[in-house]
Amino acid sequence: MRYLPLAFDVRDRPCLIIGGGAIATRKARLLRKGGARLIVVAPEVGEELRGLIRESGGQLFQTRYREEFLAAGELVIAATSDSSVNAQVSRDAQARRLPINAVDAPALCTFTFPSIVERGPISIGISSGGAAPVLARGIRAQLEALLSPRLGELANLAAGMRDAVKKAMPESARRGFWEWVFSGPVAAEVEAGRVREGERVLADALGRPDTVSSGRGEVYLVGGGPGDPDLLTFRALRLMQRADVVLYDRLVSDQVLELVRRDAERIYVGKKKQFHSVPQDDINQRLVDLALEGKKVLRLKGGDPFIFGRGGEEIDRLADAGVPFQVVPGITAASGCASYAGIPLTHRDHAQSVRFITGHLKEGELHLPWSELASPGQTLVFYMGLTGLATICRELAEHGLPASTPAALVEKGTTREQRVVVGDLTSLPQLAEEKSVEAPALTIVGGVVDLHRKLSWFKP
């Protein structure tokens, strides 16, 4: 390790910047975030940088660099477009034992600026020592996805209660208490945007130490999207990493499941045609039981939990049992699969509305408002419609849609195994049989399907 990570307190301290262009402005912006007083030396200075100097109560010397300017700063940045000037600033600063950063010249630096992840008072710096700053920025992006945007609010809440915790409990008990705060119901309330409620839970726990050891768990109802893990939301990924146990469906892809915390217990509760591994009522009750054991339970569903995912039934049971829960929407199959197939669900020339329909057969029949569905100017998306595909195509044609209406099947959409089979209401059932299309497969009917050949972009 060449560079030792340190945190500088620059609030109200004079920081000297040599240079007045875009790079100098970026550094000034960062220093100003830390509350620094900016001293800038440059023949020409942009308007934004002038504003930052004024805001900080600093000084502008609109002239060329001279060594005597170093007396004005406690930290120095060389950010000119002239490498010889930057090198001179570095030599002069090091002779005075001042910390120096020369932009894009690691050999001239005694400190570097890391890529920073900031959440209020919490800040994380990722540094490559100047070797690969783009890589450091990529790592920062990954951390941004993992860390809650409300982490700073949680830290501020803890700071406000720190003295109260010191008075309420002995030093030996504080660490365990704070671990409970940051991983239990207090953090969950803040994560959900209920900061005042989190503060109340924390305050109550100070007077009732038994609360810490006997706290209930929580359920995270999370939409895992149609299959591609890149389509997960940041919030989904954070909760997937926090869970103690995960109950997951058949439609959750292996790639998405791999992102769950590795030591979490995994329970498969998926359903297949004519086979239910776990009845829905049992799933609902298991979620309650696991939460009441104090566990953080991830209920991971393919697509979106509120679109043909029975998520409403599950949280209804949780609400009846008084179990806290959060719901994280996912990209539903209709949106994800259609996008990856190059089929826009709406288009001014083809469809002014879209309908999501369950194609699941009940006792071998499919009872749907066929006359409404056969209206022109709309896109129809059938979930779980592969078994009843022949019925769907026949009924739509019999109720008024032209037999030549374009229709498509998107098999395993958004994944590496995606296939798109395009036909019309007459040919699609036969094509599905010939090409051995398997579930999960989404059926799309409407004029927008004609755009697939032109707009298809995903090459699995």
Collect the ranges in the chain with pLDDT lower than 50: 214
CA proximity to 344, closest of 449, 250, 425: 449
Sequence ranges of the binding site: 22-23, 43-44, 226, 302-304, 307, 332-333, 384, 413
Q: In what order do the strands lie in the sheet with 378-383?
A: 353-358, 378-383, 441-445, 406-411, 419-424
Q: How far apart are CA 21 and CA 86, in angstroms?
A: 14
Q: How far apart are CA 194 and CA 397, in angstroms?
A: 52
Element (H, E) at 283: helix 280-292
CA proximity to 93, closest of 114, 115, 77: 77
| The model scores a pTM over 0.95 | no
**Taking the CB of residue 200, how many other CB atoms lie within 10 A of it?**
13
Give the domain ranges of the chain.
14-113, 151-213, 218-331, 334-455
User: Does the active-site annotation cover 254?
Assistant: no
68 CB-near residues (< 8 Å, 6+ apart): none
CA neighbours within 13 Å on the CB side: how many for 285? 5
Q: Which residues, in sequence order, are bridge partners of residue 420?
A: 410
Residue 264 in contact with residue 256, Cβ under 8 Å?
Answer: no
Name residue, tokens 């830390």: 34
Task: Quote the tokens at residue 115.
Answer: 């890529």
Beta strands in 202-261 (DSSP E): 218-223, 245-248
Among 92, 228, 249, 450, the active-site one is 249
Four-residue CA torsion sign, 250, 253, 254, 258 = negative
CA proximity to 202, closest of 163, 165, 246: 165
Residue 174 in contact with residue 206, Cβ under 8 Å?
Answer: no
pLDDT at 145: 79
Residues 1-10: b if buried by 16+ CB within 10 A, e if exposed: eeeeeeeeeb
Sequence ranges of the binding site for S-adenosyl-L-methionine: 226, 302-304, 307, 332-333, 384, 413
pLDDT at 54: 96
Q: How far apart are CA 256 and CA 216, in angstroms?
A: 27
Alpha-helical (H) ranges within 99-209 are 133-146, 151-168, 171-183, 185-191, 195-207
| DSSP-derived 3-state class of residue 360 | coil
Q: How far apart are CA 392 and CA 123, in angstroms?
A: 55
Task: Quote the tokens at residue 119.
Answer: 């959440």
Topology of domain 218-331, per CATH? Answer: Cobalt-precorrin-4 Transmethylase; domain 1 (3.40.1010)
Q: How far apart are CA 80 and CA 365, in angstroms?
A: 75
- Please provide residue 124's backbone torsions phi and psi, each rounded to the nearest 5 degrees: -125, 130
**Taking the CB of residue 103, how many other CB atoms lie within 10 A of it?**
22
C-alpha pair distances (Å), 50 with each of 20, 25, 40, 57, 82: 9, 9, 9, 11, 21
Q: How far apart are CA 428 and CA 405, in angstroms?
A: 10
Q: How far apart are CA 60 and CA 447, in angstroms?
A: 64
Sequence ranges of the binding site for NAD(+): 22-23, 43-44
pLDDT at 211: 59
CATH number of 14-113: 3.40.50.720
CATH architecture under which domain 334-455 falls: 2-Layer Sandwich (3.30)
Dihedral angle over CA of 26, 27, 32, 33, nearest 10: 80
Residue type, 167: K
User: Does the active-site annotation cover 450?
Assistant: no
pLDDT at 206: 86
Q: How far apart are CA 222 and CA 302, in angstroms?
A: 9
